Structure 1
Amino acid sequence: MAASAVGIITLLAVVLAGPLAWAIATYVERRRKAADGAAEAGASEGQVDGKEPEREEMSGVAYTLSLLGYAIGLGNLWRFPYLVGKWGGGAFIIAYLVCLCFVAAPAYLIEMVMGQYTRKSTVGCFKMIHPRWDGLAYGQALILLMVMAYYNVLLAYAVIYIAGSLVDPLPWAADSKNYFNVEVLNGYDDYIGKGLGPVQWKLALGLLVVWLIVFASLSFGQKILTKVTWVTVVGPIVMLVVLLIRSVTLDGAADGIEFYIGKFDSEVLGDLDMWASACSQILFSLSPGFGAAITMSSHTRPKENVFRTCMVVVVCNSAFSLVGGFAIFSIVGNITFRLNAAGGVLDKATGAMVATTVAEQARAGTGLAFIAIADGMRAFGSGTNAMSVLFFTVLLTLGLDSTFCFAETFVCYVEDYLLVKGSKPAKWKIVGCTCAVMYLMGLLFCTRMGIELLDTIDHYCITYYLLLAVALEAFMFTFDFGWRRLVVHVKLATLGNLRTPLGQDVVPSFFWRLAIHITMPVCSLFLFFYILSTDVVEPYGGYPVWMNGIGWSCLAALLAVTPLGFARSLKSGTGSTLPPLEQDEAALAAAFGIKSTLPPLGQNEESDLAEGATA
């Protein structure tokens, strides 16, 4: 093996492209401000008339990009194809889309509205709605800690592959699956008598690189993060299109695509385990229940149309997963084609070479995306190293967008807590401490059984708690925030906007009310108790008892924190600090020139208000 000049040059170009574009944009912006006479010394420090602004705000474009980066993450190409392969193709996609419409999308919408309305991060938002819900907020803060600890280890895999892309021939050229399982993970062949094992230095080093990038991106405020997000959101979309165009022309690609969208096992639709996986996947991807959408929406402008932004993010996120699935399964089809052309695979039972299928190759486990994309790089001929650098950089940036939002949300929790205590340390210090703690926790997942531990925590924390969290958020919204407040706020916030001069209506009203009040809590709680009963009967994943014990302990910690707010609320007797609904209605009525209180908002909301406007 020798160093690849093409790979090194490509990596340097990728690394330098962002800072160069940033420098040019900053120079142009400063020249424009100088010409307009708008640059003020205090503005650069975030001051207005010598006072601190109440909350740092993002522009509409920055807000949308941040949410897109938060939603479109590594799970779209890492977790989604693996689950499609596990559950037999099209049946899983149907379940995924149903859960999107009736559980995840409504949960996402109410989080965005509540964040914009209260102008507070998750803890402050929930306390403002009613103090009894602050335990749920602390539970979401705790789950963020757990997710950040393991999520960036997946990005460390991408860093290792980027480093491998600088070598010619590629180190996984002979066997991409073996490279991932042995060279990257160095996992055990069995679990008997094994513990976590030693930390693998490659993973530890890759994880350190990831957290250094997170520190550099978050330490200096939303403006810096916005510039980074432009690169980390747009870049993956462009490269996915390139990968898709090339992969669908490979030999055997049609077989992979046929499995992806052509295989439909109707019996699987009756499997509740599949529905639980589908629901947890879309919840993991959009990530309501983490509180990040609330915190990010608290930074958006008061006149931002969060309903429209919600629709844009929901559609784009799922479209990315579905399109990415075409690329991944085209490559899986090509892998199957080449294996069969070479004589098939070894049957361990008979010792003979037998033909393999797309279904068998698609069940490569959680490393499917890494194995498939690594193998697919061989299709680019002389450009193999350059494309390998680019595509694994895409996987890295996909994950970075999500971890930026996770970390920013947690940092915001800490900042808000310290402000209440009368302290305001520099943001870089808070970010630095957070990154250091998360790196040390992440080393547990860099051990020889790290990926099994990762899968265990992902199952017990993400699958369970997100289902519970969105159900509780539905109850909180129904009993303490209210549908009418949401409708009035969205209308009032968007009045006079260019696209919505009469304000944005939440349409179709009957669907959103049905989903938020009924399907969102009922489906979530049903799946929560179903997988709970399943795991009690049979230990998850066939992992050792001690590893499942870690998963149960983490879940127990989350469940223990959640009801604390109810206990404190009953003891103190404190209630909601939301403004009276009548105040919002009066402001909306005044905006339309209506002197009296508005009648109940129903299906004819827009016509009622329009009549008031013309009057």
Structure 2
Amino acid sequence: MAASAVGIITLVALVFAGPLAWAFATYVQSRRKAADGAAEAGTSEGQVDGKATEREEMSGVAYTLSLLGYAIGLGNLWRFPYLVGKWGGGAFIIAYLVCLFLVAIPAYLMEMVMGQYTRKSTVGCFKMIHPRWDGLAYGQALILLLVMAYYNVLLAYAIIYIAGSLVDPLPWAADSKNYFNVEVLNGYDDYKGKGLGPVQWKLALALLVVWLIVFASLAFGKKILTKVTWVTVVGPIIMLWVLLIRAVTLDGAADGIEFYLLKFDSEVLGDLDMWASACSQILFSLSPGFGTAITMSSYTRPKENVFRTCMVVVVCNSAFSLVGGFAIFSIVGNITFRLNAAGGVLDEATGAMVATTVAEQASAGTGLAFIAIADGMRAFGSGTNAMSVLFFSVLLTLGLDSTFCWAETFVCYVEDYCGRTKPAHWKIVGCICAVMYLMGLLYCTRMGIELLDIVDHYCITYYLLLAVALEAFMFTFDFGWRRLVVHVKLATLGNLRTPLGQDVVPSLFWRLGIHITMPAWCLFLFFYIFSTDVAEPYGGYPVWMQGIGWFCLAALLAVTPLGFARSLKLGTGSTLPPLEEDEAALAAALGIKSTLPPLGQNEESASAEGAKA
């Protein structure tokens, strides 16, 4: 193997593209301010309408980009395709879309509104709504620790592939599946008598690089993070379309797409395990239940239209997953085509070469995206190394966006907890990154990917379902639908696109989702998965590894009810302002801006009479 000049030049260009774009944008902005006197007329950072604010604020564009980066993550190209492959194509997509509308979208809007309304991170928000819910917030803080520890190891895989893209021929050119399983993971052939094994130095080094990037992006405030997010959100979208255009023209791509969209097994729709996977996937992607949407929304401007932002993020997130599926399965179809053209695959039972299918190749498990994209790079001919650098950089940046938001959320928890005595921001970020790196080393061992699967199942699948259900109860009994409607309208009055305020429509859909389908479906799946795992241990992993999963879940479940016990003992209650105050403020604002009737009627009748006026 020799160094690839094309690959190295591409990587160098990528490294400097962000800073150069940032410098150019800063230069243009400074010239514009100098020309129109914006420096004197504008609102200084940390102020709104001349009044000091308690929290650093993000612009509407920065807020939307942050949520897009948070939602569109590695799971869209890593987790989504392998679940489609596992559950046989179209049936999973139908379940995914049903769970999107009945569970994820209502939960996402609910969190965004609560965050903007309270102007606090998740812990502060839940305490303000009612102290009995602060245990749920601490559970979400704990799950962030568990997720960040293993999630960035996936980004370490991308770092290793980027490094491999700098040599010619590509180190996985002969066998992409073997490269991932042996060269990257160095996993055991069986679990019998094995522990986690030694830390793999390549993975440990790559993980260190990831956490250094996270530290550099978060340590110096949201202005730096905003500039980074521009690159890490826009870049993957562009590169996905490049990958898609090339992938669909490959030999055998049509077979992969047929499996992805047209293979439909109606019996699978009756499998509750598949529904649990679909629900956990969309919850993992949009991530209600993590508290991140609440914390990010607490930093947005008070006049931001979070309803519109919710719709934009939800549509873009799911579109990215679905479009990414076309690209991944086009490549899987090409892999199948080439294997069959070469004589098929070895049948271990008979020792003969037999034809393989897209379904068999799509069952590669959690490594499907890495294996498929790595193999697909061979289709770019002389541009193989350059495209390999670009596309594995896409996987890296997709994951970094989610990590940025999760880490920023946890940093906010720590800063809010410390109050006025908090250490410097960069010190808090540095300590969190160091702790997360040390925890992540557990997943850099020879059984690291098995441990990752265990923690992902017992913590993410379980706790996201429970957290979303409990948030629905909290909203129903202590925050209230009417407060959400009043706040959204009041926050958007006078905006260019919503001069009379944003109505939350259709009301029936949102109320049905938040009050009924979201909690009922999530709790049903939670108890179903629990009973299934008790009857048959998950994944066939060793008993000691199952124990780690159950222990992590037990810790999350133990933290959650603490707030209930404490609030009963202290007799504390909600510190939300009375709903009547919000309604009076909205009535006063409406009286100035239009001839809408006094508040007290429901939002539909108010909107109708406002239209007549």
TM-score range, shorter chain: over 0.9
Contact 2:176 2:375 in 1 (8 A): yes
Structure 1 residue 391: Cα displacement: 0.2
Structure 1 residue 34: Cα displacement: 3.3
Structure 1 residue 38: Cα displacement: 4.4
Structure 2 equivalent of residue 192 of structure 1: 192
Output one character per residue of 1:124-181: Cα deviation in whole Å (capped at 9) or x when no partner: 0000000000000000000000000000000000000000000000000000000000
Output one character per residue of 1:289-348: Cα deviation in whole Å (capped at 9) or x when no partner: 000000000000111110111011111100100000000000000000000000000011
Q: Distance in 2 between matches of 1:237 and 1:306?
A: 23
Contact 1:594 1:612 in 2 (8 A): no
Contact 1:509 1:603 in 2 (8 A): no
Output one character per residue of 1:472-491: Cα deviation in whole Å (capped at 9) or x when no partner: 00000000000000001001
Output one character per residue of 1:515-534: Cα deviation in whole Å (capped at 9) or x when no partner: 10000000000000000000
Q: Distance in 1 between matches of 2:595 and 2:124?
A: 29
Structure 1 residue 41: Cα displacement: 14
CA change 1:423–1:303 in 2 (3 A) is same
Structure 1 residue 223: Cα displacement: 1.0
Q: Distance in 2 between matches of 1:44 and 1:610?
A: 39
The TM-score normalised by the length of structure 2 is: 0.97
2:259 partner SS: helix
Structure 1 residue 30: Cα displacement: 2.4
Structure 1 residue 592: Cα displacement: 1.4
Contact 1:594 1:613 in 2 (8 A): no
Structure 1 residue 70: Cα displacement: 0.2
CA change 1:116–1:46 in 2 (3 A) is closer
- Structure 1's unaligned 5+ residue stretches are none
Q: Distance in 2 between matches of 1:369 and 1:165?
A: 16
Contact 2:185 2:446 in 1 (8 A): yes
Structure 1 residue 287: Cα displacement: 0.2
CA change 1:545–1:11 in 2 (3 A) is same
CA change 1:360–1:464 in 2 (3 A) is same
1:44 partner SS: coil
2:194 partner SS: coil
Contact 1:589 1:597 in 2 (8 A): no
Output one character per residue of 1:174-207: Cα deviation in whole Å (capped at 9) or x when no partner: 0000000000000000000000000001100110
Q: Distance in 2 between matches of 1:176 and 1:308?
A: 42
Contact 1:99 1:282 in 2 (8 A): yes
CA change 1:613–1:254 in 2 (3 A) is closer
Output one character per residue of 1:223-265: Cα deviation in whole Å (capped at 9) or x when no partner: 1101100000000000000000000000000000000001000
Q: Distance in 1 between matches of 2:182 and 2:334?
A: 23
Structure 1 residue 608: Cα displacement: 2.5
Contact 2:587 2:598 in 1 (8 A): no
CA change 1:51–1:507 in 2 (3 A) is closer
2:120 partner SS: coil
Contact 1:592 1:613 in 2 (8 A): no
Which range is displaced more, 553-562 or 33-42?
33-42
Structure 2 equivalent of residue 97 of structure 1: 97
Which range is displaced more, 17-26 or 443-452?
17-26
Output one character per residue of 1:94-141: Cα deviation in whole Å (capped at 9) or x when no partner: 000000000111110100000000000000000000000000000000
Cα-Cα RMSD: 2.2
Which range is displaced more, 48-57 or 485-494?
48-57
The TM-score normalised by the length of structure 1 is: 0.96
2:366 partner SS: coil
Contact 2:485 2:603 in 1 (8 A): no
Question: Do residues 562 (structure 1) and 560 (structure 2) align?
Answer: yes
Q: Distance in 1 between matches of 2:182 and 2:191?
A: 16
Contact 2:303 2:491 in 1 (8 A): yes
Question: Do residues 473 (structure 1) and 463 (structure 2) align?
Answer: no
Structure 2 equivalent of residue 582 of structure 1: 580
Contact 2:46 2:54 in 1 (8 A): no
Q: Distance in 2 between matches of 1:50 and 1:592?
A: 23
Contact 2:344 2:354 in 1 (8 A): yes
Which range is displaced more, 95-104 or 21-30?
21-30
Q: Distance in 1 between matches of 2:14 and 2:593?
A: 59
Question: Do residues 334 (structure 1) and 334 (structure 2) align?
Answer: yes
Contact 1:103 1:519 in 2 (8 A): yes
Contact 1:589 1:596 in 2 (8 A): no
Output one character per residue of 1:445-490: Cα deviation in whole Å (capped at 9) or x when no partner: 0000000000000000000000000000000000000000000100
- Structure 2's unaligned 5+ residue stretches are none
Contact 2:247 2:331 in 1 (8 A): yes
Structure 1 residue 553: Cα displacement: 0.2
1:208 partner SS: helix
CA change 1:45–1:279 in 2 (3 A) is closer
CA change 1:502–1:92 in 2 (3 A) is same
Output one character per residue of 1:18-51: Cα deviation in whole Å (capped at 9) or x when no partner: 0111111122222333344444799988589999
CA change 1:599–1:30 in 2 (3 A) is closer
Contact 2:584 2:599 in 1 (8 A): no
Contact 1:74 1:399 in 2 (8 A): yes
**Equivalences for 1:182-581 in 2 at 5 Å?**
182-417=182-417, 422-581=420-579
CA change 1:594–1:387 in 2 (3 A) is closer
CA change 1:360–1:552 in 2 (3 A) is same
Contact 1:586 1:597 in 2 (8 A): no
Q: Distance in 2 between matches of 1:494 and 1:292?
A: 22
Which range is displaced more, 65-74 or 20-29?
20-29
Structure 1 residue 610: Cα displacement: 6.5
Which range is displaced more, 44-53 or 447-456?
44-53
Which range is displaced more, 47-56 or 113-122?
47-56
Contact 1:586 1:598 in 2 (8 A): no
Structure 1 residue 425: Cα displacement: 1.7
Contact 2:596 2:610 in 1 (8 A): no
Output one character per residue of 1:324-376: Cα deviation in whole Å (capped at 9) or x when no partner: 00000000000000000000000111111100000000000100000000000
CA change 1:369–1:92 in 2 (3 A) is same
Output one character per residue of 1:36-87: Cα deviation in whole Å (capped at 9) or x when no partner: 4444799988589999631111111111110000000000000000000000
Q: Distance in 2 between matches of 1:42 and 1:309?
A: 24
Q: Distance in 2 between matches of 1:132 and 1:107?
A: 20
2:591 partner SS: coil
CA change 1:219–1:52 in 2 (3 A) is farther
Identity across the alignment (%): 91
Contact 1:585 1:597 in 2 (8 A): no
Structure 1 residue 591: Cα displacement: 1.1
Paired residues, what number? 611
Q: Distance in 1 between matches of 2:137 and 2:596?
A: 33
Q: Distance in 2 between matches of 1:48 and 1:93?
A: 44
CA change 1:249–1:545 in 2 (3 A) is same
Q: Distance in 2 between matches of 1:289 and 1:230?
A: 25
Contact 2:152 2:207 in 1 (8 A): yes
Which range is displaced more, 87-96 or 43-52?
43-52
Which range is displaced more, 35-44 or 225-234?
35-44
Q: Distance in 1 between matches of 2:181 and 2:59?
A: 43
CA change 1:4–1:512 in 2 (3 A) is same
CA change 1:30–1:599 in 2 (3 A) is closer
Structure 1 residue 596: Cα displacement: 14
CA change 1:105–1:41 in 2 (3 A) is closer
Q: Distance in 1 between matches of 2:427 and 2:48?
A: 24
Structure 1 residue 611: Cα displacement: 4.0
Contact 2:46 2:57 in 1 (8 A): no
CA change 1:368–1:501 in 2 (3 A) is same
Structure 1 residue 3: Cα displacement: 0.1
Contact 2:108 2:288 in 1 (8 A): yes
Structure 1 residue 602: Cα displacement: 10
Contact 2:500 2:594 in 1 (8 A): no
CA change 1:360–1:609 in 2 (3 A) is closer
Contact 1:593 1:612 in 2 (8 A): no
CA change 1:50–1:596 in 2 (3 A) is closer
